[in-house]
Amino acid sequence: MTFEMSQANTPQPGTVAKPPAVPSSPPAQPKPEPARAKDLSVRINSRFPTVAVNWMKEKRLKVTTTPDKVKEVAFFVRDDLGFDHISAVSGVDWIAKNELEIVYFAGSVKPGWADFVVAVAERVARDNPVAPTLIEVWPGAEYHERETHEMLGINFQGHPNQSHLLLPEDWNDLPPLRKDYVSPGR
Amino acid sequence: MTVESEYSPDADRIMAVSLGPQHPGAGHFRIKLWLDGDFLVRSEPDAGYVHRGEEKMGEYRNYIQNVPHLERPVILDSCGILMPYALGVDELMGNSIPPRAQYLRVIMCEANRIISHMYYLGILGIFVGHSTMIEWAMGDRDFWIDFAERIGGARVTFAYIIPGGVRNDMPAFAVEKGLKTCDWFDKRLDEYEKIFLKNPLFLQRSEGVGVLSKEDAIRLGTTGTVLRASGVKHDLRRDEPYCVYPELDFEVPVLEGGDSWARAYVALLEMRESVKIIRQALKKIPPGPVRLKLGPQPRVPAGEVYSRTEAARGEMSYHIISDGSPRPYRLKIGTPSFKNLRALPHLLRNVHVADIPVIYWSLNYWPVEADR
């Protein structure tokens, strides 16, 4: 679901260069949501022009990138925008498009941005699902990635341990959250 | 404890021991320990013994059928796990929830927070050999279960919060029962503080044990009581308000210690705030309808949503993708226990064996919730 940006919120010329990802003063009067989201998306696009940024809703921004750039984008989201921890990692099997999508939901504990989530998404081919691990960006992603690996069969390059976490050790079927895996009895 | 036949290659004196898989109070779970005498060198959690495939099950059922099975991973906090699901589906469908239903959602979530925290502190008591704590906590918890039963009709799994509102209205006598329980429970909390949390024996066992620094708490992605005990003021009820929380007056307790004691004490302080919230909500609740007529198989427009709320153990989140069919295309559940799991191997190293139960349980880790 994309959120149509309203004309009233077109960025002022100065917004791109504005440095603070975190408001320096306490957020007594937080800015209206669309303006904040707009600000973030302009900053992401000025650094990465080819990255697609769209809204899931006012307080959710989805950044869709490619596996070769995802680490760079993630570092930017963490260091420049201030999204300091991983909230969840989700994987989606888009079987009709023959693609797997990995979505990192990054949150922030900084005042004023604690209600905001930036989703960093990437798509990989279903028959060769390889993506770099983002543990060095967000160490909390370690077990989330391990789960995504076993549930969707995505190979995270550089991950220290991709053994089964939730599935039995001897699971030798398809990764269960792929759409072509059918639960027994269905 | 069973001994594994694997030894560390670098030192003969290091012994690998498997703690579990057993049921230490919350579900089956195993921790692999590498010990040097009674000193824990490092550890590795082994989850998954109670994995049920909730996410795959969610793809086979429609949005209403998903309600009862989704609360099974967290039976003590069943409203906490359904709240973000209901909010997410409501958002996809564009439902506007009647105010009375929003109040009822908040009341039940806070009652569940108390039920869950009482269980947590009770088990923590028995983990350090404080039998009175578990007896008292389990007994007093029952009064809150009684209160929730008067509203939800069941004792633990209510299937109460559903897309479009709540399942049924509250009977009038539940208000009186709730206010009475609130007044009585406030006094009980003072006694818990004296008998358990400020007890020198418990302080000895938990103070300075398993210290999680503020930076590590954020870096490792911890949430809930673990994060707030490490000095981070982050609570989605305050930071990303949902339902009627903005209309209610409460504090977000934060402690700086980051040790096992702080994690336990934050839970106690949170119960005080929950009592405050329930008392206000019971007095303020407006009359009106509590449920939209969605039908047994509502059509959910295609879309994607990431909803999150503050459940008893921390941030509960759902990533729901709808393709316009009656069933979700993807239903990702992000549970607070799974988010806190990364802190366990970080804390369970360079400590004594005697500290393992305190550190493990102070994280408020619920294996069933983590495994889903």
B168 with B314, same domain: the answer is yes
Let me know whether B34 and B98 are in one domain. Answer: no
The whole-number pLDDT of residue B10 equals 56
Residue A147 belongs to some domain of the structure: yes
B24 with B150, same domain?
no
Q: What residues in chain B have per-residue pLDDT under 70?
A: 1-12, 24-26
CB B223 within 8 A of CB B336: yes
What CATH number does residue A88 fall under?
3.30.460.80
Tens-digit pLDDT profile for residues A157-176: 898 888 888 988 888 888 99
Of residues A17 and B162, more confidently modeled: B162
Structural domains counted in chain B:
2
The partner residue sitting opposite A56, judged by closest CB among B53, B233, B306, is B306
Residues 6 or more apart whose CB falls under 8 angstroms from that of B371 comprise A166, B27, B47, B48, B49, B50, B51, B52, B73
- What tokens appear for B160 in the block? 């109460």
How confident is the model at residue A113, as a pLDDT?
Answer: 84
Interchain CB distance below 8 Å, B51 and A167: yes
Q: In the β-sheet with A52-57, what is the strand arrangement from edge to edge? A: A52-57, A60-65, A117-125, A99-107, A85-94
Q: Which residue has the higher pLDDT, B190 or A13?
A: B190
Chain A positions in Cβ-Cβ contact with residue B91 (cut-off 8 Å): 57
Are residues B22 and B156 located together in one domain of the fold? no
> Is A105 contained in some domain?
yes
Same structural domain for residues B37 and B59? no
Q: Contact, B213 vs B359, CB < 8 A? A: no
For chains A and B, count residue pairs whose Cβ atoms are closer than 8 Å: 105
The overall average pLDDT reported for chain A is 79
Report residue A33's pLDDT band, with 50, 70 and 90 as the boundaries. low
Domain limits at B342? 54-371
Note whether B243 and B168 are same-domain residues. yes
Residues B132-173 have pLDDT tens digits of: 988 999 999 999 999 999 998 888 888 899 998 898 888 888
* One domain, residues B9 and B143: no
User: Which of the pair, A58 or B294, is modelled with greater confidence?
Assistant: B294
B345 in contact with chain A, both atoms CB, cutoff 8 A: no
Asked if residue A129 belongs to a domain, the reply is yes
In this prediction the ipTM stands at 0.87
Q: What per-residue confidence (pLDDT) applies to B41?
A: 87
Are the Cβ atoms of A166 and B48 closer than 8 angstroms?
Answer: yes
Are B195 and B130 members of one domain? yes
Is B330 within 8 Å of chain A by CB? yes
Q: Are residues B70 and B40 in the same domain?
A: no
Expressed as residue numbers, the domain containing A142 is: 31-157
Q: What was the pLDDT predicted at A41?
A: 80
Chain A residues inside the 8 Å CB shell of B330? 90, 92-93
Q: Do B221 and A139 touch (CB under 8 A)?
A: yes
Q: Into how many domains does chain A fold?
A: 1
The continuous run of DSSP H or E covering B320 comes out as strand B314-322
pLDDT of residue A57: 73
